Structure 1
């Protein structure tokens, strides 16, 4: 089982490399359950690490690097 912190880091890395992605695509790329990825994205958004762009799609927060 992957830790929440490890999933969040994988999400940040994947979005930095590929730009905007939907939660389902992130889950597929990370081989994690979509709900696990959605929850991680919510935490990352609350920390301003990523930004939602609409309907389950997230992108890196370019303002924070």
Structure 2
């Protein structure tokens, strides 16, 4: 992904949330073979997966 398609997001989160994110990043780093893993990539992955789940739930509710 090129830098032109990326935006910076500045947010305030609790210390506990940062520690949880660090643990998730470490887990991704240990269990993937793609090289260096960044917090932004992990957050993007989590958001994308959550979004897909939301879309499926919305589709189920419309039936």
> In which range does the TM-score fall when normalised by the shorter chain?
0.3 to 0.5
Larger radius of gyration: 2
TM-score by structure 1 length?
0.33
TM-score by structure 2 length?
0.34
